[in-house]
Every structure is written in C-alpha cells, then in structure tokens.
Amino acid sequence: METSGFFYGMWQELTFGQYLQFAVNFVARNYSTLGLIIFVYAAIIFVGRYGGQKFIPERFESFVMEKYGEFAAGNSKLTNEKVVRLIYNDWKDEISRFPSYIYVKSKRDYWIERPSLEILEERYSINQDKATEILTNNGVIANDVQ
C-alpha cells in the first residue's frame, strides 16, 4: 500500500512539478471556496450581461417618448431634427444618473463596466438615429423616407 502512494506522489511530482502539485493540492483542499468564487463571478457577469441589456434599451425608449412630450408641449415650432438632437443631448446627461446596479458587459465579455455614451453607442446602437426610429415607430413623427 505504501508503495502505491509513493509511486503516485513521485508521478505527481514528475508530471506536475513542485508548484503545480501545490496548486492541485490547494484546489483539492479548498474546492468549496473556489466554487463559491466562481459562482459569484458568474452572478456578476449575468447581472452585467442581462440586467443592462434589458434595462437600457427600455429606458432609452421611455426616455425618448417622455422628452418628446415635454418638448412638443413647450414649443411647437421645433423641427423633428432639432427635437431629436435636444432629446439625445438630454440622454447624455441621463446616462450618468443610471442606478448604481446597472452595468454592461465589457468589450471582451470577461467582466462588466459602468455604461457610458460611447459604450451604449457602440454595443447597443443607441444614438440619434435610434431616437428618430423610436419616434417614427410610435407614430409621433412622420416617416420622411419615401
């Protein structure tokens, strides 16, 4: 019996080396702690991927409609392009007021980060054209494309 343990230990040392053997033993001793760390990491990635992915486009659509109502009631002489530009300028300020739990996935999808205007334009295609599309789809402004 002792020889099999000796040979196993010798095989482990020859195969993995001293430092990798330490890592294997560490994982074997602390598998529940490492499992908890992996679970927390996966939960954080899930929140970043699906929380922001659902909240941000819905918030943008409701924001565009709310702001259009404010601008249309205040001044009827504004053109559609001017209204969209004003709405988008207010959206830039709204991004900084997002709740603290809203994150988006990072560029390589390994972590999460706070949303910024550049990130939302790049990854979610939230820009002035999207605001115009929302207003057109809801029948608020006429579609200029013939």
Cα-flanking dihedrals φ and ψ of residue 30, to 5°? Answer: -120, 35
pTM of the model: 0.69
Domain ranges of the chain: 2-137
Reported in sequence order, the residue ranges of the chain that DSSP labels E, i.e. its strands, are 104-105, 112-113
Residues of the chain with pLDDT > 90: what percent? 32
Q: Is the dihedral of CA 110, 113, 115, 121 positive or negative?
A: negative
Instruction: Quote the pLDDT of residue 102.
Output: 82
Specify which residues 105 forms β-bridges with: 112
Indicate the helix (H) or strand (E) that contains 39: helix 31-46
User: Which residues have CB under 8 Å from 24's CB, separation 6+?
Assistant: 12, 16
| pLDDT tens, residue by residue, 54-110 | 889 999 999 999 999 888 877 778 888 888 999 999 999 999 888 877 888 777 777
Neighbours of 2 (CB within 10 A): 6
